[in-house]
Amino acid sequence: MQYDFIKLEHRLKKELDEDRYQHTLGVMFTASALAMCHGGDIQQAECAGLLHDCAKCIPNDKKLKMCEEYGIEVTPTERKAQFLLHSKLGAYLAKAQYGIEDEEILSAIRWHTTGRPNMSRLEKIIFIADYIEPRRNKAEHLPEIRQLAFQDLNQTVLRILEDTLHYLDRGKGEVDEMSRSAFRYYYNLFGNPDDKGRSLTE
């Protein structure tokens, strides 16, 4: 399917602040590059990258109210860390307001923050692109992870989940159980039993 990216970008720019919009463009371009590298659908990657944060700039209390209004399930962790709701709310809005019907794209938007076990190639691409896009500069090990992203998607997902959980487990934020489940899944398949990540599966 062909998407009118100029129209989508024009509408999206009205919904995001400038920093978030620039991040979004970075994710879109990074996702398309990863799709080229790993044999993914470039149009899907661009579209999911462009819309992945379409609900990000909605105030947190309004995110919660909208989820309740639209019948979107809210977990106890999401009630405490309402910014996490932008992923599932974004998937809803991508369909309802931006006209995206492709379930693969909607699922990639839905899981781009926490990840999940057994992600599709597109889900991995958006999850990774959100973490490594060029304007990101605060996460640990970014140079290594950026290089790895163009070699092995599964190892990159594992490394991002590991670094994220280590960060959150130091008291830097709420840990969504789906992220820990995703880490267990990828660690069991692709991890080294002797490395530091073993404690995160417990």
From the list 122, 155, 126, the residue with the least C-alpha distance to 141 is: 155
Give the global pTM. Answer: 0.94
pLDDT value, residue 195: 65
pLDDT tens per residue, range 149-168: 999 999 999 999 999 999 98
50 C-beta neighbours (distance < 10 Å), count = 26
* Cα distance between residue 23 and residue 19, in whole Å: 6
What are the C-alpha distances in Å from 121 to residues 37, 41, 74, 107, 124? Answer: 12, 9, 26, 11, 5
Q: Is the pLDDT of residue 201 over 70?
A: no
Q: Is the pLDDT of residue 10 over 90?
A: yes
pLDDT tens per residue, range 18-76: 999 999 999 999 999 999 999 999 999 999 999 999 999 999 999 999 999 999 999 99
* Cα distance between residue 46 and residue 29, in whole Å: 7
Q: Can you list the domains of the chain with their CATH numbers?
A: 5-138 (1.10.3210.10)
